[in-house]
Structure 1
Amino acid sequence: MSKYLNYGIALFLLLFCFLSNASTNLLIFNRPADTPQARYVIDLMKMAYKEIGYEVHIIDFNHQNALVAANQGVLDGQLGRIADVKDNYPNLLKVDYPLFDFNLVLLKNCQQCQYEELKSLAIQSSYPAAQSYIERHPFNGDVIKVRNVTAQLNLLTQKRVEGTILLDFLLSTKHPNFNQTAFHKQVLMPMQSYHFVHKRHKAIIPQLTMVLKKLDENGTVHFLKSKYHLTEF
């Protein structure tokens, strides 16, 4: 890890330690990319935490470093991540309630070629879903990691890569007018997003899980999903 990230983490610890001392029931999470899914999750988790006596504070934090910071305890967890993040970030504990469903999709320049036959792929470095898929489905080509969806699509349209793996909701939100019909689209697998907390908050997981299930049963989850026009897969 670079010294700059270490300095950044130390700074955040200094900035927010007084908040933690002032209120042990204050939890800090980074702001996710602005999508309907993110807005829904923020609303739902604020509501759920309030039910168990906690306040959620959302801060702007470098998304590229958010998982590392959460794993080190600088952040109190992650609002929504795929289940597999626990494999590489062992200090993050999953709350066993799926927040929303999405698809991991592959856009290819060639219609007939299969995933394993591609010579190059572009993936987004700050979202582990694509990397997790590649680790479980061997790929022998070049993997190019970029910072955002725009860079992925630029590489694809310029034919500098043969394919790119994307989260469908990020693609539709960030580039709603992108001409997907110009490429061959393949759904690699359905996935789900979960809430994670740092292990120091392990004791609140049963309460939080119970509240989320209650909010599901009483229609609150359905209301929030409808509010943000989320599609069930």
Structure 2
Amino acid sequence: MKCAPALLLLLALPLRASELQLSVIANNVTHEEVWRVVQAAARRAGVTVVARMVPAERALALANSGVTDGDAGRIEGLDKQYPNLVRVPEPVFYYAAYAFAYNRLEVNAGWESLRGHAICIRRGIKLFESRTEGMPRQVLDDEGSILRMLRNGGCEVALLEPNNLAVKEEMAARPPLFQLRPPLEVAPLYIYLHKSHADLVPSFAEALKQMRRDGAIQNVPSD
């Protein structure tokens, strides 16, 4: 029995497009940028992605449990703590981590420069949690809480997003908040997928490599 041409065409098409719901850190300027790159890479990989904006700590828990299909924009090594996640080996973003203070502290020694100072960090940002482990620190839920703690003397140094509106306003106020330079670290961030979608890892990696080769990763348009 011969199939009609229309039926042959239908059989050649996928039954449905792959669609992934990825955890993305809510109210975080960096992860808004990361998400634009993820979307562009997904289009090249032939995958539809949608964002689920959630708090940083919860984002990883949801992805590891399979409630979401992965997490976008995280440091290397989290698959040890979250064993159901598989890292796409090509970076999606390079993140410059900056410290902020009301005094011009020297930070040329990177993270070691913070040792001996009381630090405020945002909960669930694994780069900050990992690099300040063993140092005196306050872990808070958002930039607003961190800035209040810093102003009130609860900490001497804060790890913040430079492009956050509240941070920019504080830098323009009197006395000004200083962005301490150079950055403490420039860290590659990665997409993690739940292990049930491990077959998509090579497609995402190749898409990101292509974008890096042709320069598209530097010129992802804003929405």
1:32 is aligned to 25
Q: Which of 203, 218, 222 is 2:218 aligned to?
A: 222
Cα distance in 2, alignment partners of residues 107 and 42 from structure 1: 25
Q: Does 1:47 align with 2:40?
A: yes
Shift of 1:56: 1.0
Instruction: Give the whole-Å Cα distance in 1 for the aligned partners of 2:83 and 2:90.
Output: 18
Aligned to 1:132: 130
Distance 1:112-1:145 versus aligned 2 partners, 3 A rule: closer
- Structure with greater proportional helix content: 1
Deviations, residues 27-49 of structure 1 (Å, cap 9, x unaligned): 11134335564344333322332
Q: CA offset at residue 215 of structure 1?
A: 2.3
Amino acid at match of 2:209: K
Q: Report if the CA contact (8 A) 2:79-2:87 is conserved.
A: yes
**Of 55-64 and 108-117, the range deviating more from structure 2:** 108-117
The residue number in structure 2 matching 1:82 is 75
What does 1:39-188 align with in structure 2 at a 5 Å threshold? 39-108=32-101, 111=104, 114-118=113-117, 120-135=118-133, 138-139=134-135, 141=136, 143-166=137-160, 170-174=161-165, 175-179=167-171, 181-183=176-178, 185-186=180-181, 187-188=183-184
Q: Equivalents in 2 of 1:203, 1:71: separation in Å?
A: 16
- Relative to structure 1, is the Cα distance of residues 44 and 108 closer, same or farther in structure 2, using a 3 angstrom cutoff? closer
Q: Secondary structure at the match of 2:153?
A: coil
CA 1:61/1:182 → structure 2, altered by over 3 Å: closer, same or farther? closer
Letter in 1 for 2:22: F
Residue 126 of structure 1, CA deviation: 2.1
Tell me the residue number matched to 1:190. Answer: 186
**5+ residue gaps, structure 2:** 1-14, 107-112
Q: Deviations over 1:55-113 (max 9, x none)?
A: 11223434441111111111111121122433322222211222222222223455568
Identical-pair percentage? 21
What displacement does 1:24 show? Answer: 7.1
Q: If the length of structure 1 is used for normalisation, what is the TM-score? A: 0.72
| Structure 1 residue 51: Cα displacement | 3.2
Q: Distance in 1 between matches of 2:47 and 2:198?
A: 14
TM-aligned CA deviation for residue 25 of structure 1: 1.6
TM-score computed with the length of structure 2 as normaliser: 0.75
Q: Within 2, Cα distance between the matches of 1:68 and 1:191?
A: 22
Query: C-alpha deviations, 1:181-217, integer Å up to 9, x for none?
Result: 5457253222122111111211221122112211222
Other structure's SS at 1:90 match: coil
Structure 2 residue identity aligned to 1:151:
S
Provide the secondary structure at the position in 1 that maps to 2:144.
helix
Distance verdict in 2 for CA 1:24–1:91, change over 3 Å? farther
RMSD across aligned C-alpha pairs, in angstroms? 2.7
* Alpha-carbon distance in 1 for matches of 2:206, 2:179: 42
